[in-house]
Amino acid sequence: MLSRVASQGFFFVLEYLVKTGERPLMLLLRFLTWLSRWMVPLFMDRSRVERIADLSYGESREQRLDVIRPKNLGGKLPVVFLVHGGGFQYFSKGSHAVIAQRLALMGHVVFNIDYRLAPESPFPLAMNDVVRAYAWVLKNAESYGGDPSKIHWVGESAGSNLLAGLLLRVLKLDTSTVEGLDPLPSGFPPPAKAVLHCGFMQVSNPERWDTDSRASEVSRIRIRVIQRNYMGKFMDQKPSLSDPLLTFEKMNREEAAKLPPIFVPVGDLDWVYTDSKRLGDALERLGSKGSLFKSYPNQGHAFYFKWWGKEVPLIWKDIGDFLK
């Protein structure tokens, strides 16, 4: 009960700040990002998992990753490449430490990454960081007990967008380029499987939410702030890599045969539900082998973070079963 009251109180404050103006909202979210970076890892169960923190994959202080792996498991374990959400503007590998722990306790070595955030680092810099981090993981996974031949990708919200864009590039299903986008290293393997939870899969056209009953006034304002801060000078150009959903929807069956199995779980009250539903519909139309869309009743955005409600253990069981 206390956790639910705290959650409702947080969203009440969030709504007030959104209506007050963008700057107070960003200050709050940046403070929460900073706080969660240090506080959330304290709740990890160090008797069951090991955390190797702040390994560098680039020169920036934001280009860091953590390795979280289960204790007392021998041999090479499957790898999870985890990319956090947060509207491309906030949260961190620290805020997602408990998500990494859940995945590690399923028997994975998890590489939980930070990337540079907007508006200071707009598109395509986060995408460049995800590429650099993945290159680092491919090179170093085995040194940390991971099996580089079995790598899964897991993302949520903005992280799902970034991973979807990377997947399309790796499979050469999107060969577009924009100023500042780093070339993709040769020989990048796609994941064995991908989990794209509650993805914000199309940054352009925020007007589509104006008639969506799931998107509150606050959510509609946030979506426009995300678009402006993340896209920067590219906002009017609508580059395909920031809208991976549209590429999936234009794909044909021959192209889709290249895709790995993709799991698309989302709460049916999620304010970006329709992006996941459209992605699920596209994968079904394309006959994507092993792919699955699933909607969970009465759940909102990124609900796999919650520690109450019967749907939370269910989504984690579904993720675990999918990654087996």
CA distance 113 to 197: 17
Report pLDDT for 27. 72
* Residue numbers in the chain where pLDDT is lower than 70: 1-26, 34, 38
- Domains in the chain: how many in total? 1
Length of the chain: 324
Q: What is the largest CA-CA distance in the chain?
A: 53
SS3 for 208?
A: helix
What CA–CA distances, in Å, run from 157 to 40, 70, 106, 160?
Answer: 19, 26, 22, 5
Phi, psi for 19 (deg, rounded to 5): -70, -25
Q: Can you give the pTM of this predicted structure?
A: 0.91
Q: What is the pLDDT of residues 117-169, one digit of tens each?
A: 999 999 999 999 999 999 999 999 999 999 999 999 999 999 999 999 999 99
Question: Would the CA dihedral through 282, 283, 287, 293 be positive or negative?
Answer: negative
**What range defines the domain where residue 178 resides?**
2-323
Q: What is the CATH number of the domain that holds 77?
A: 3.40.50.1820
Q: Tell me the average pLDDT of the chain.
A: 91
